[in-house]
């Protein structure tokens, strides 16, 4: 059962307990021996466990896309493998996405799926909660994405992006774009998420986030001295200390930034979230937003650099908004940027920032003729799905017009960059808003191209990132 403290509410406030079923309660952190299932129980699933101890971990880390495609070709759309010390099952394609993400039967735990990657560095974020507890927190946090607060974030985005684009325009030429975008995204989070500039804390916060995210896939899972996991755990301590100091201040003074919204968020019965829960949620939000936006906006600009015609079409769309040179993008104009949205969607299709989504089965289930036992670690793969030629002809071609009007019959889970079902990305509209705001300031000011010889080689895991920092050529328009 979900205890009041576990639910992350202030002590003494009621927490609904109804609906938490025995199976869900049985498979919690207090009883880890119930999973994973004995390896022999998965022997009927095609696949292999790789090398002793490391299993297939190094293969998948080296080339996550190629690895999954090769396995799919050899074993089919359901296969067994051994990653990060556990044998699990990969399920590919839109039907698998629908089954796991929609999860109408409440068969799959997000918390126990992500725990292997996040428990030490991002515990108790929304993705680390299930069912009733998740619903309770998600509803409380949703207030931060209503139109009023979104308009305030957009103001902060407009100001921050316009100023940075002006700097880039003043220093044209070849530029390593990914680190510049990472810095911009962090600076934007400082204003739109935290309200005031992080100031001298910025360097420490950046380092802490980088270490925490890297720890999510560190091959050594214990925080031993000198390991990435140790750096990740230290990073978390830093972040927790920083945000904890801030909660009472924000509660006192309020504010239209995202952190202040979370500090003041209440559940349906009026209970505030506990300070610890707020700290866990805001640090999770920062992580969920920071690397996904850095990755997707870098990819967006890279793909436009490689397609001058689409770059010009988007410039034309923005010119059509009739804005004065420095005029901010207003919230009610976001809807008009259809081509920009199509191009951003196509970017998310080609290089989804969350290439793989894990869950853990809470009870036995069947898929494509295979019976998969309770306790199994299962994963679906947006990256694979987004490159299936039966849904996306010529999948490696950048073609935003695929999103002009989805062809009749395209599976609704064939495009899942933001997941789906109860855990669907809560920041989805924020992401589209930031992408459009970025395009509004960047494209009318800067023409971008790919310098000869520059590579398009990306690390895919845990979040896609160009290996060489992404060299691009920037020219004033």
Residues at the contact surface with ligand HEM, assessed by CB under 6 A:
110, 126-127, 138, 285, 288-289, 292-293, 296, 348, 353-354, 357, 417-419, 423, 425-427, 430-431
Would you call 326 exposed, middle or buried from its count of C-beta atoms within 10 A (0-12, 13-18, 19+)? exposed
Element housing 280 (H / E): helix 275-305
Longest distance between any two alpha carbons in the chain, whole Å: 66
What letter does residue 173 receive in the DSSP assignment? E
d(CA 77, CA 47): 11
d(CA 342, CA 351): 14
- Nearest approach in angstroms of CB 144 to ligand HEM is 8
- Nearest approach in angstroms of CB 341 to ligand HEM is 12
Nearer of residues 185 and 246 to ligand HEM, judged by Cβ: 185
- Nearest approach in angstroms of CB 453 to ligand HEM is 29
Nearer of residues 231 and 426 to ligand HEM, judged by Cβ: 426
Contact of 409 with 390, CB cutoff 8 Å: no
Nearer of residues 293 and 314 to ligand HEM, judged by Cβ: 293
What letter does residue 406 receive in the DSSP assignment? P
Residues near 191 by Cβ (< 8 Å), separated by ≥ 6? 156, 159, 160, 197, 257
Nearer of residues 162 and 357 to ligand HEM, judged by Cβ: 357
Residue whose C-alpha is closest to residue 112's, from 425, 376, 364, 355: 376
What letter does residue 270 receive in the DSSP assignment? S
Contact of 249 with 116, CB cutoff 8 Å: no
Tokens encoding 356: 């793989």
Nearer of residues 294 and 311 to ligand HEM, judged by Cβ: 294
Nearer of residues 209 and 285 to ligand HEM, judged by Cβ: 285
Nearer of residues 164 and 423 to ligand HEM, judged by Cβ: 423
Tokens encoding 392: 């996306």
Quick one: how many helices (H) and strands (E) in the chain?
16, 12
- Nearest approach in angstroms of CB 408 to ligand HEM is 26
- Nearest approach in angstroms of CB 354 to ligand HEM is 4
Contact of 389 with 145, CB cutoff 8 Å: no
d(CA 83, CA 60): 8
Contact of 143 with 263, CB cutoff 8 Å: no
Which residue's structure tokens are 């290089």? 351
Q: Measured in whole angstroms, how far is the alpha carbon of residue 206 from the centre of its chain?
A: 17
Cβ-based neighbour number of residue 174 at 10 Å: 11
- Nearest approach in angstroms of CB 326 to ligand HEM is 25
How many CA atoms lie within 13 Å of 421's alpha carbon, on the beta-carbon side? 23
Nearer of residues 80 and 423 to ligand HEM, judged by Cβ: 423
Which residue's structure tokens are 């920037």? 474
- Nearest approach in angstroms of CB 423 to ligand HEM is 4
Residue with the closest Cβ to ligand HEM? 427
Nearer of residues 121 and 431 to ligand HEM, judged by Cβ: 431
- Nearest approach in angstroms of CB 72 to ligand HEM is 20
Nearer of residues 120 and 360 to ligand HEM, judged by Cβ: 360
- Nearest approach in angstroms of CB 359 to ligand HEM is 7
Residues near 212 by Cβ (< 8 Å), separated by ≥ 6? 121, 122, 232, 235, 236, 239, 287
Nearer of residues 161 and 354 to ligand HEM, judged by Cβ: 354
- Nearest approach in angstroms of CB 236 to ligand HEM is 17
- Nearest approach in angstroms of CB 416 to ligand HEM is 7
């Amino acid at each position: 059962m979900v205890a009041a403290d576990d639910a992350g509410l202030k002590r003494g406030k009621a927490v609904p307990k109804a609906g938490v079923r025995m199976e869900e309660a049985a498979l919690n952190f207090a009883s880890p021996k119930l999973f994973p299932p004995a390896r022999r129980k998965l022997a009927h699933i095609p696949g292999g466990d790789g090398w002793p101890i490391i299993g297939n971990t190094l293969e998948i880390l080296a080339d996550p896309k190629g690895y999954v495609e090769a396995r799919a070709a050899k074993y089919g759309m359901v296969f067994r493998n051994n990653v990060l010390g556990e044998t699990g099952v990969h399920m590919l394609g839109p039907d698998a996405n629908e089954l796991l993400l929609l999860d109408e039967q409440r068969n799959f735990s997000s918390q126990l799926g992500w725990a292997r990657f996040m428990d030490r560095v991002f515990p108790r974020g929304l993705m680390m909660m299930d069912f009733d507890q998740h619903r309770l927190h998600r509803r409380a946090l949703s207030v931060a994405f209503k139109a009023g607060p979104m308009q305030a974030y957009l103001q902060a985005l407009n100001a921050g992006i316009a100023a940075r684009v002006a700097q880039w325009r003043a220093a044209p030429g070849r530029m390593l774009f990914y680190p510049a975008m990472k810095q911009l995204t962090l600076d934007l989070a400082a204003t739109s998420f935290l309200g005031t500039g992080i100031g001298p804390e910025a360097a420490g916060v950046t380092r802490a986030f980088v270490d925490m995210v890297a720890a999510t896939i560190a091959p050594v899972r214990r925080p031993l001295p000198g390991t990435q996991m140790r750096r990740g755990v230290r990073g978390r301590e830093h972040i927790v200390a920083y945000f904890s100091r801030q909660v009472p201040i924000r509660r006192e003074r309020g504010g239209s930034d995202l952190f202040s919204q979370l500090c003041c968020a209440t559940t349906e019965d009026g209970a505030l979230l506990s300070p610890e829960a707020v700290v866990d949620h805001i640090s999770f939000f920062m992580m969920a937003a920071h690397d996904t936006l850095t990755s997707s906006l870098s990819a967006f600009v890279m793909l436009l650099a490689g397609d001058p015609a689409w770059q010009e079409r988007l410039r034309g769309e923005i010119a059509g908004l009739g804005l004065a040179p420095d005029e901010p993008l207003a919230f009610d104009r976001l809807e008009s940027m259809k081509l920009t949205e199509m191009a951003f969607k196509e970017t998310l299709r080609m290089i989804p920032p969350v290439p793989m989504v894990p869950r853990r089965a809470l009870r036995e289930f069947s898929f494509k003729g295979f019976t998969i036992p309770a306790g199994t670690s299962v994963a679906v793969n947006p990256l694979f799905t987004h490159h299936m030629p039966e849904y996306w002809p010529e999948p490696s071609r950048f073609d935003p017009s695929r999103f002009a009007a989805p062809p009749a019959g395209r599976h609704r889970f064939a495009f899942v960059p933001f997941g789906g079902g109860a855990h669907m990305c809560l920041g989805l509209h924020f992401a589209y808003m930031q992408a459009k705001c970025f395009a509004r300031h960047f494209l009318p000011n800067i023409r971008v191209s790919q310098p000869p010889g520059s590579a398009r080689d990306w690390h895919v895991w845990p979040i896609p990132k160009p290996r060489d920092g992404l060299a691009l050529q920037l020219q004033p328009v």
